[in-house]
Structure 1
Amino acid sequence: MNFIQTRGIDPAYPSTVTFSEAILSPIASYGGLYVPENLPNLGLEFLNKHLGSSYKDLAFDLLKKFEIDIDANVILEALDLYDNFDNKNNPVPVVKVKDNLYVSELYHGPTRAFKDMALQPFGRILSSVAQKKNENYLILAATSGDTGPAALETFKNQKNIQMVCIYPANGTSDVQRLQMVTEDAKNLKVIGINGNFDDAQAALKSLLASKSFNDTLKEKNISLSAANSVNFGRIIFQIIYHIHSYLELVRHNAIEMGEKIYINVPSGNFGNILGAFYAKEMGLPVEKLVVSSNKNNILTRFIKTGVYDIKDDELILTTSPAMDILKSSNVERVLFSLYGADRTKELMSDLDNNSKYELTKDELEKLQEIFIADFCDDEEGKHYIKSVFDEGYLMDPHTATCLKAYETVCDPKIKSIVYSTAEWTKFSPVIANALTGEIDTRDLDALSSISREAKVEIPQMIKDLFTKEVTQKTVIEKTDIEKSILNFL
């Protein structure tokens, strides 16, 4: 399968690229992104075929449907990394919380967040491609807290790879920060910036598109790629677990095969729900995709009004920080699927130049045929954490945002899958406050509070973070990112 470009074709770019080319150089013409030229059509035949399959067998067959140019043995080796999750036979448990509400737990990997689902296999594949081409790559990642630890984990000590992770110095939880700054592999560099995630993401996109930066890297015989969800290598693995979760509901006898469901995703950069969008386009029976936002409710406003407007907005720091994003990169791929390259280029140019774009009435109707949305503020989120805990389930503040949309925009007669993107350990001060009213300023105190209240053990991998040596101490102004990267190299 070939990949095409969301904003049309600059004559300097090829009209199509292979999967391996798209993951090695993820930024396309005019600053756009790569998308599949065609999506495979799965239908009920594919779903029925995999009703008894393991997660890895489902994943392998889906990747085969995309006809990606990666050797089968490399794909199998990458998928074997799911064996390191809590339960190798079921890396993504689906748990019933209410009569028509199920939670798909995506956080059972090595860094306790959903990014492991894509980055564990993706890192192995990208490194294999680099070795096969006998080329050296610099991988950039910007993180609001979870991409960074997962990307560092997957790329550490990988051959032909150096990696730089950029994060907002005051924008993550203690656990997320410690997962990054205690990494000591020689091929990794972690850079904290005095800014927010949008600043980190803007810097990443700017460097990916910078001719001078790329030319400097070429002098060092290094090519440039990215581990963020601008890279379709991330997205392709995020399609799989939506299909798996649907099949789990069938296996639980919660739905019949072919019955439509809601897929409800806490949404920041839009990569997770984009995977669900592609799954729906490929034939997964979905009633609506539910976009759950926090108080930075740009996405909710966009889906309800058709106006994407950030010109007067300042980023709000919330208790669900991984969703503290104003400029959601992967919305662009949905725009392309619905309206084509010319219109996507026009809309994204409006966003870049005016910090705003607006859909027509017909375009909005097309969007609303697929998506519904609501947002949840911090106090509401803590209410949902407590109320669900009282019913026997412990969830993090990002997952809690989905409970608001479940109540306000979903038909209660239709089954819903909510996607839990992080383990409770990643955001313990918020959860401890919601459960006990305690105000713990340190993650370690909050972890202990929750452990006592919920009668759960703190995972050893989380405990160990607080005694590991901090090896990555760089915190700089955002204007110094390029200089810091070049010094590392």
Structure 2
Amino acid sequence: MLYNSTQNAKEVVSAAQAIAQGISKDGGLFVPQEFPKYDENTFKALLKTDYKGRAKKVFSDFLSDFTEEEINDCVEKAYTAQKFGGENPAPISYCNLDGTTLNILELWHGPTCAFKDMALQILPHLLTKSLKKKYDGKTAVILVATSGDTGKAALEGFKDVDHTKIVVFYPVDGVSPMQKHQMNTQEGSNVRVCAIKGNFDDAQTGVKKIFTTPSVAEKLAENNMLFSSANSINWGRLLPQIVYYISAYCDLVNDGKIELGDKINVVVPTGNFGNILASYYASLMGLPINKFICASNSNNVLTDFIKTGVYDKNRNFYTTISPSMDILVSSNLERLLYKLSGDNDEVTRGWMNALKSEGKYEVSDNVKAVINDRFYGGFCDDKNTEATIHELFEQDKYLCDTHTAVAINVYKQYVEETGDSTPSVIASTASPYKFSKAVLEAVEPNTALPETEFDMVEELHKISGVEVPAPLASLKNKVVRFSDVTEVNAMEDYVLGALGIE
């Protein structure tokens, strides 16, 4: 299994190289040259095993330069019951809203209470093994731009990991108080956290620029370091996300909700497009998915793109109560467009260059037709997000966070618009306690809000009876370690300073 860049198909690398390097030298993203095919017999075998067994199968098919022992070691260390609160890291809750069954795939039972843990608990193991194969002795500098969840999950995954250093940038006013507190209290001798005066897109653009600046790479090389990434631009971040869609399908079959071979829909609250792309990749492998339902908040650039084929980031940016989706440049869409264009690197490169220079591009009619056929785009503003949280709790006593509520609301729109009754998996991406203020206001609209974030957590617990995840409860008395804030154009200097490089 080899990988090439979406913007230069001639750049061909192994899995270990793709994971260690993170992003192509030309700024493109690494993609597999082919996808393994899973037939009925494959799924019958997967039905009989657990999450770890399913993960080992998927990883072994994509990571051909890793030994069976290496893959087993990565999986066994990543998906422990201690870290995820049970043997199944991604359980499904079956709920009911307005008479419609909701199959909610809970991806937030890991150590930072967000779906990013599903990938970022295993990425450090994949990366350290990749470094030994390709860059033995070098230290990987992990640069992360985060809209809230990736940052903490990456910090937690990489803290004190040998031969790694990690620097996380987040928008100073673009994450929830709980997300900010999680990052700024992070333990570990190899971690740094810095806010930027800008939004997530500014942070992501800044990180990509640092990645692809030759003079910076040369300075790192002189100090026996190299850049890598923990964002979903890294194949080692995206690959683990394929697993939980395949595993969820197996769980639905085993729970008697569907028959093997039945199609499902997938509903994903979408920001950087990695989570929904993983489900699309799973479908290329043989997972029977009927429709990919892409749910956005008021930053609805993806909704408009799916409907029109025009991607236009030249629009107002909104700070919402679902901040992990406050994104106008969805990086992983590039991988989808590469595949839909027939693996055409020249065409993909043209679209991405137009996005950089003009802030917009329009895909071909052929690509539009496929997107219209396979994808549905919808969005939900803050008012309807809060209403959805309230309705689901009132009807079924199920407490969801602000991002999951966006997905549920858009799913309701889809069903009302199409009448499609295909069983659907809804990706639930975070614990409601990571956004306690917004969730509390939604559940009890007329309640007087407590003063502090942790008092809000306690009040929400009293009202809902839903247990507060231990990783969040333990944050209350942690000391803040990081309070740095920088301008976007000073991010490069900050990184070099954090690494002790002049």
In the alignment, is residue 429 of structure 1 matched against residue 437 of structure 2? yes
Distance 1:308 1:193 in 2: 26
Residue of structure 2 equivalent to 1:92: 90
Distance 1:293 1:63 in 2: 30
Residue of structure 2 equivalent to 1:397: 402
Residue of structure 1 equivalent to 2:262: 259
Residue of structure 1 equivalent to 2:320: 318
Residue of structure 1 equivalent to 2:468: 458
Q: Which moved more, 1:144-153 or 1:436-445?
A: 436-445
Q: Tell me the CA shift for residue 214 of structure 1.
A: 0.5
Q: Pick from 32, 35, 41: which aligns with 1:39? A: 35
Residue of structure 2 equivalent to 1:334: 336
Distance 1:72 1:88 in 2: 24
Distance 1:382 1:73 in 2: 47
Distance 1:101 1:459 in 2: 23
In the alignment, is residue 199 of structure 1 matched against residue 202 of structure 2? yes
Distance 1:327 1:142 in 2: 13
Distance 1:149 1:51 in 2: 33
Distance 1:92 1:131 in 2: 30
In the alignment, is residue 242 of structure 1 matched against residue 238 of structure 2? no
- What amino acid is the match of 1:226? S
**Where does structure 1 lack aligned partners over 5 or more consecutive residues?**
none
Q: Deviations over 1:119-170 (max 9, x none)?
A: 1011122123324522211111110000011100111111111111111122
Q: Tell me the CA shift for residue 15 of structure 1.
A: 3.0
Q: Deviations over 1:218-259 (max 9, x none)?
A: 111111111100001111100000001111111111111111
Residue of structure 2 equivalent to 1:371: 375
Q: Tell me the CA shift for residue 435 of structure 1.
A: 0.5
Aligned length: 484
In the alignment, is residue 19 of structure 1 matched against residue 15 of structure 2? yes
- What amino acid is the match of 1:100? T
Q: Tell me the CA shift for residue 441 of structure 1.
A: 6.0
Alignment of 1:275-354 (within 5 A): 275-311=278-314, 313-339=315-341, 340-354=344-358
Residue of structure 1 equivalent to 2:498: 488
Q: Tell me, yes or no, if the aligned pair for 2:110 and 2:118 is still in contact at 8 Å.
A: yes
Residue of structure 1 equivalent to 2:50: 54
Distance 2:346 2:283 in 1: 24
Residue of structure 1 equivalent to 2:427: 419
Q: Tell me, yes or no, if the aligned pair for 2:144 and 2:229 is still in contact at 8 Å.
A: yes
Q: Tell me, yes or no, if the aligned pair for 2:19 and 2:130 is still in contact at 8 Å.
A: no
**1:120–1:199 Cα change, 3 Å:** same
Residue of structure 2 equivalent to 1:223: 226
Residue of structure 1 equivalent to 2:122: 121
Residue of structure 2 equivalent to 1:79: 75
Q: Tell me, yes or no, if the aligned pair for 2:113 and 2:471 is still in contact at 8 Å.
A: no
Q: Tell me, yes or no, if the aligned pair for 1:6 and 1:35 is still in contact at 8 Å.
A: yes
The alignment partner of 1:40 has SS state of coil
Q: Tell me, yes or no, if the aligned pair for 1:291 and 1:373 is still in contact at 8 Å.
A: yes
Residue of structure 2 equivalent to 1:103: 104
Q: Tell me, yes or no, if the aligned pair for 2:90 and 2:105 is still in contact at 8 Å.
A: yes
Q: Tell me, yes or no, if the aligned pair for 1:100 and 1:414 is still in contact at 8 Å.
A: no
Q: Deviations over 1:83-141 (max 9, x none)?
A: 13334421111111124320000000000000000010111221233245222111111
Q: Deviations over 1:374-431 (max 9, x none)?
A: 0000000001001111112110000001122211223442111100000111111000
- What amino acid is the match of 2:405? A
Percent identical across equivalent pairs? 38
- What amino acid is the match of 2:207? L
Alignment of 1:153-164 (within 5 A): 153-164=156-167
Distance 2:470 2:421 in 1: 40
Alignment of 1:128-207 (within 5 A): 128-132=129-133, 133-207=136-210
Q: Tell me, yes or no, if the aligned pair for 2:25 and 2:212 is still in contact at 8 Å.
A: no
Residue of structure 2 equivalent to 1:212: 215
The alignment partner of 2:84 has SS state of coil
The alignment partner of 2:426 has SS state of strand
Q: Deviations over 1:289-323 (max 9, x none)?
A: 11000000000000011110112x13200010000
Residue of structure 1 equivalent to 2:360: 356
Q: Tell me the CA shift for residue 449 of structure 1.
A: 1.7
Q: Tell me, yes or no, if the aligned pair for 1:124 and 1:154 is still in contact at 8 Å.
A: no
In the alignment, is residue 380 of structure 1 matched against residue 378 of structure 2? no
- What amino acid is the match of 1:125? L
Q: Tell me, yes or no, if the aligned pair for 2:194 and 2:486 is still in contact at 8 Å.
A: yes
Q: Which moved more, 1:334-343 or 1:20-29?
A: 20-29
Q: Tell me, yes or no, if the aligned pair for 1:386 and 1:434 is still in contact at 8 Å.
A: yes
- What amino acid is the match of 2:350? E
- What amino acid is the match of 1:71? T
**1:363–1:440 Cα change, 3 Å:** farther
Residue of structure 1 equivalent to 2:4: 4
Distance 1:359 1:461 in 2: 43
- Indicate the RMSD between aligned Cα atoms, in angstroms: 1.4
Distance 2:71 2:373 in 1: 35
Distance 1:251 1:67 in 2: 28
Distance 2:369 2:195 in 1: 41
Distance 2:33 2:466 in 1: 47
Q: Tell me the CA shift for residue 67 of structure 1.
A: 3.9
Q: Tell me, yes or no, if the aligned pair for 1:100 and 1:412 is still in contact at 8 Å.
A: no
The alignment partner of 2:467 has SS state of coil
Distance 1:402 1:100 in 2: 14
Distance 2:39 2:282 in 1: 10
Q: Which moved more, 1:474-483 or 1:153-162?
A: 474-483
- What amino acid is the match of 1:3? Y
**Where does structure 2 lack aligned partners over 5 or more consecutive residues?**
none
